[in-house]
Amino acid sequence: MSHSYSRQPSSKSSARGGVPPVDEGPWQGGPPPPHSQSNRGGGGYAPGPGSGGPAPPTMSAARLAEMLDIVRSEFDGVMQDNSNMKVQREEFEARAAAQLNELVQIKNAVQELENVHYKARVQYEEELAKLRAEIQALRAANPPHSGHMSAVERNGPPSGHPNEPYERNRGDRELPHPKVRKPPKEEIPEPLPRGSPRPAEPLRMASPPYEFPGSLSPSTVPATLRKEGPDWFAMYNPRLPQKTLDVSLLHQFNHESVVCCVRFSKDGKFLATGCNRTAQIFDMATGEMVCQLSDDKAVVEGDLYIRSVCFSPDGKYLATGAEDRQIRIWDIAKRRIRNLFEGHDQEIYSLDFSSTGHLIVSGSGDRTARIWDMETGKSRILSIEGNSNPNDASGDTPMNEGSAATDAGVTSVAISPDGRLVAAGSLDTVVRLWDVQTGNLLEKLKGHRDSVYSVAFTPDGRGLVSGSLDKTLKYWELNTSALKAFADGKAPKNSPDREPYARAIHNFVGHKDYVLSVAISHDGQWVVSGSKDRGVQFWDKYGTAQLMLQGHKNSVISIDLSPTGGSLATGSGDWQARVWTYNSLGNAP
């Protein structure tokens, strides 16, 4: 008795993804399904290998045609899907092309706006130059003995300083506030008497010193006197017979906040930068950041800007001074704090190691400078008061001479190469000199007309350069013989007849806004300054401007020159630090 196995009728629908129909006839051989009657007992026959049963018949032509129809239907469905996907891809590509085109248009519009802004700025500077010329003419036309009171004499000094120390775009941080200064009377032209005729020919006056760059711009100087990069340019002084320097951009380091300070290591192989809560160290050969230092135990709330960084002479340690009044000495290799010096009452603005690395000097807004012993952690306070030479080093009178006790926050400090002197610039316009060994105040160098924000010794220790909010730099010649006699105990300390320890011999004029940082090249040949006017100027040691470099979109807050020569670092309120190369061209003085 033979058994037959049949499947339930299934749909012959050709819908894709369904189960294809199966034969509805009797079972055609092969092992029966698990749920068939043959597996439920009853002794059904299940042919298998070697059973000698009949061979299974071949598939019918109708069944084959049906299967081909199914395959064809599946193929048509796949082709339809492919066609739909191709249409979608073309739509996506069209949208992407439209968006790219829109981005190009936006970029072109931004570039056009920048060009318009640049032209407007050039026009503004030209108009400003014309107004200055008219003011000079008015001064010449009106003698000083005209008897008319100036606006300052009538109304008194202004109620406040018109500007902040530098711009605050993109979170630009404030430096110590410059205090109110009474402007000199000659800066405001005397009005002509109403109804009085102008003189036919103005009085001839001595022409003011040439200020480079003045109203010059890259578009107004010959191509031979400018050099341009993708987002920077340099202009050369047209009054020089030949170019003396060449500059180029080497590295650009983006930060997460304003870059408050930059400093090279003594071997010039590394650069440290300070910004909000972190200090970074970059490899100058590769341009890679090799280290980032941050104190996890520092105050969490608010900003904590690193205002100063300084490598130890052996390159093993990095000192950082911050707004929390603490000096941290970092072991660079171990990425941890080696020493923590506390004692200042306000923010720390400046640090400098001695050449031996045994001492570090700090300057703070609390109106003190301190000398710290690296081994013991003890400090000596350098007082801003003291019995110094009553004769000024320059003869000029600062605007707020009577406010030294309250407005003398220390903004910058430097130790001389021989380790004998500490110089400090402060908000009261004065540069001070102390003897390191005794802590005595030796001299108050007066000549600037606004706060002094930066000081630097020359490599030979015979000179000192200072930069001020009065937009100028001064070169002070140190009386090394008198200083040596004092150190040896052979000079009178408080005699009014003694020689001054320093005198201003050169004045550097040319910046259009506050001078925020100064540096001197390793060979003493070049002086470099950074300013709120966003420019960096190279000068020779006699005060002659060589070139103006502009590559930042905000104030140049800090600069440094490599101790090995050839490299300049700049830190800015645009959240960038840049490293430039400079080379003397053989025409240098």
Please report the pLDDT score of residue 161 as a whole number.
36
Residue 266 reports pLDDT greater than 80? yes
Where in 446-533 does DSSP place strands (E)? 452-457, 463-468, 472-478, 502-509, 515-520, 526-531
What pLDDT score was predicted for residue 209? 64
- pLDDT at position 138 is 74
Q: Grade residue 289 by pLDDT with cuts at 50, 70 and 90.
A: very high
pLDDT score recorded for residue 497: 66
Average pLDDT over residues 88-102: 90
Q: What is the mean pLDDT of residues 326-336?
A: 96
Higher local confidence (pLDDT), 125 or 55: 125
Distant-in-sequence, close-in-space partners of 188: CB < 8 Å, separation ≥ 6: 150, 151, 152
More confident residue, 299 or 347: 347
Half-sphere exposure at residue 568, Cβ-oriented, CA atoms within 13 angstroms:
29
**pLDDT band for position 124 (50/70/90)?**
confident
User: In this structure, are strands 463-468 and 261-264 parallel, antiparallel, or unpaired?
Assistant: unpaired
449-502 pLDDT, tens digit per residue, is: 999 999 999 999 999 999 999 999 999 999 988 888 777 777 666 666 678 899
pLDDT average, residue stretch 183-201 = 40
- CB contact set of 114 (below 8 Å; sequence gap of 6+): none
Per-residue pLDDT tens digits for 205-250: 344 567 888 888 888 888 899 999 999 999 999 999 899 999 999 9
More confident residue, 383 or 382: 382
CA angle, residues 381, 383, 388, in degrees to nearest 5: 140
Residue 32 has a pLDDT of 44
Q: Does pLDDT of 304 surpass 80?
A: yes
pLDDT given for residue 63 in this prediction: 87
The pLDDT, as a whole number, for residue 199 is 44
Least confident window among 98-102, 311-315, 584-588: 584-588
